[in-house]
Amino acid sequence: MSKVALVTGGSRGIGAAISIALKNAGYTVAANYAGNDEAAAKFTAETGIKTYKWSVADYDACAEGIAKVEADLGPVAVLVNNAGITRDAMFHKMTRDQWKEVMDTNLSGLFNMTHPLWNGMRDRKFGRIINISSINGQKGQAGQANYSAAKAGDLGFTKALAQEGARAGITVNAICPGYIGTEMVRAIDEKVLNERIIPQIPVGRLGEPEEIARCVVFLAADDAGFITGATITANGGQYFA
């Protein structure tokens, strides 16, 4: 029986590449998404990967959604907390809603998804939790006090939970992507991207979603059991944490 992997925000961008890479590595994959039904339907048609709609910002919806995935596919062995949003603004202009939406999705989303799965992983003595943080959680970024705070929080969550899961066969790791060429990044003004962002990346290009997906497959493997509490930085040399 192949292991079940659940990828949040798994139907688009980096998450879609992760879902596909895990499927190709032999996992039975469930891809969660928030609201873009059209993209999810297209993704399922193209890949055969089942998609499930709920918001990671809603604890009860996560518990219900996970129960549905497990009823359909079996117990989740690998959880990839990938869903994330940006609501950028300089701090003097940032609204409480912009702060809260990012915290609810990018930080509380990790609690909401991991908590309902944790006891099952402990009982089965196996689990892989992989959290997609960001370079901007490591170095901070002007215009992203909300996003940088949430993504830094993801790293603290990873390190604390790694200690709790270690004896139960559960590893908890984080990946910090740099700038990856998804819709989230392509939404940045092209002039800003070409003149301000890409010149800061020593390899001279944006990363590919597949380059993050390969890190996930590595951390998810049975024989990655000695790696826990770690942060893999994949940012083209832009920042050394």
Catalytic site positions: 147
To the nearest whole angstrom, how small is the minimum distance from the Cβ of residue 74 to ligand NAP?
Answer: 21
To the nearest whole angstrom, how small is the minimum distance from the Cβ of residue 51 to ligand NAP?
Answer: 9
Q: Tell me if 11 contacts ligand NAP by CB under 6 A.
A: yes
40-69 residues in contact with ligand NAP (CB under 6 A) are 55-57
Residue 161, token pair as written in the block = 């939970």
Residue among 82, 144, 173, 233 that touches ligand NAP (CB under 6 A): 82
Contact 129, 81 (CB under 8 A): yes
Q: Which residues of 87-115 are buried (b: 16+ CB within 10 A; e: fewer)?
A: bbeeeeebeeebbebbbbbbbbbbbbbbe
Closer residue to ligand NAP, CB minimum distance, 34 or 166: 34
168-187 residues in contact with ligand NAP (CB under 6 A) are 177, 179-180, 182-185
Separation of alpha carbons 39 and 33, rounded Å: 9
The residue ranges of DSSP E strands in 61-179, in sequence order, are 76-81, 127-132, 170-177
| Count of residues that interact with ligand NAP, criterion CB under 6 A | 31
Within 13 A of 128's CA, how many CA atoms are on the CB side? Answer: 25
Residues of this chain that interact with ligand NAP (CB under 6 A) are: 8-9, 11-15, 32-36, 39, 55-57, 82-85, 105, 132, 134-135, 177, 179-180, 182-185
